[in-house]
Amino acid sequence: MSSVEHFEDLKVWQLARQLTSKIYSLARQGDFAKDYGFRDQICRAAVSIVSNIAEGFERRSNSQFLHFLDIANGSAGELRAQLYIALDLAYITPGQFSEAHADAVAIGKMLTSLTRHLRSSPNRLSSDQPPNHLINPHS
């Protein structure tokens, strides 16, 4: 199997990108759209996940990548907490909450798995392949 050369090849980045779009879509609806501070905060948390995965990957060292993956994982936790608030304020439905929360949990698990892989590997990600469930190479 070829090496991971682009952050876009990482399944966790792809899922984080999809979740970010979902959060932005939810935040444009009803009373949610009018709560500017909260809307901006939840969107920033989602953007932080996808952005930190990309930034860490582009730093080209395991230690830097690990640092940014930890930040991304923290942002996934922040997003989960904010989803509870959005549910409590009736900005989102229980179904919307369940779907977005499950996505955030899955991303957190993938980030943890990738972090474990990198910590056990002496080599850079691009030369030491992560588990197959974490990558989705370009065609």
Tens of pLDDT, residue by residue over 5-26, are 899 999 999 999 999 999 999 9
Q: Where are the domains of the chain?
A: 7-119
Q: How confident is the model at residue 121 (pLDDT cuts 50, 70, 90)?
A: confident
CATH of domain 7-119: 1.20.1440.60
Is the Cβ–Cβ distance between 7 and 53 less than 8 Å? yes
CA distance 20 to 70: 18
Total residue count of the chain as it appears in this document: 139
pTM of the predicted structure, to 2 decimals: 0.87
CA distance 65 to 130: 13
Q: How does 111-134 read in b/e, with b if 16+ C-beta sit within 10 Å?
A: beebbebbeeeeeebeeebbeeeb
